[in-house]
Amino acid sequence: ETGVTQTPRHLVMGMTNKKSLKCEQHLGHNAMYWYKQSAKKPLELMFVYSLEERVENNSVPSRFSPECPNSSHLFLHLHTLQPEDSALYLCASSQHYRGGNTGELFFGEGSRLTVL
Amino acid sequence: GESVGLHLPTLSVQEGDNSIINCAYSNSASDYFIWYKQESGKGPQFIIDIRSNMDKRQGQRVTVLLNKTVKHLSLQIAATQPGDSAVYFCAENEVSGGGADGLTFGKGTHLIIQP
């Protein structure tokens, strides 16, 4: 049972749809992340929130919009996506953003997104 | 090119044998290294980590070796079991300089266990 829960696990959407991915962490962590995982590519960091404030936005297209209402919840709002956005979207959390053994991320099981 | 990479995309081993998965990195300033395991249909799971002031660290059936001279990292799995089938990622971070967002992942090696 992972401490990071993502919903939905699978999502199929058209290019004109608006949908959201949800992530919840039950670990009391201060930092949360969105990663994109495409076939045969390394994990790509999209967004980082530390104590509910966005600290990193790695040049992600505006059709992806994150929201972090509190330290336990993270959303990724999707609109006007392209077929190349089809991927596994992974949420992760860490105890801290800086300090300690930064890098020990706890991942959710991912949301498999297919854009038609 | 990538700052972190793996030598082989797929590694096939016999059940019961030892497995060695290799990883090369290029950032000399990296001081923290991690191995993750990702089973099919699941998210990556932390296995073991090592700081740059160490060259070896052991866990349960796993050992990570770090050679800073040649910037090489390896994961050794003893007595490989069917449950070890997964994709293994190495990752590096320059902890002293930043946060967890500095973590850089390799592409991964798919470990296949032959019965």
The per-residue pLDDT for range B28-61, each reduced to its tens digit, is 888 899 999 999 989 999 999 999 999 999 999 9
CA atoms of B101 and B49, how far apart (whole Å): 16
Question: CA of B45 to nearest chain A CA: how many angstroms apart?
Answer: 7
Chain A CB contacts of B100 below 8 Å: 31, 33, 48, 94, 96-98, 102-103, 105
Q: What is the mean pLDDT of residues B85-91?
A: 94
Q: Looking at beta carbons, which residues of chain A come within 8 Å of B51?
A: 101
Q: Does the pLDDT of residue B1 top 50, yes or no?
A: no
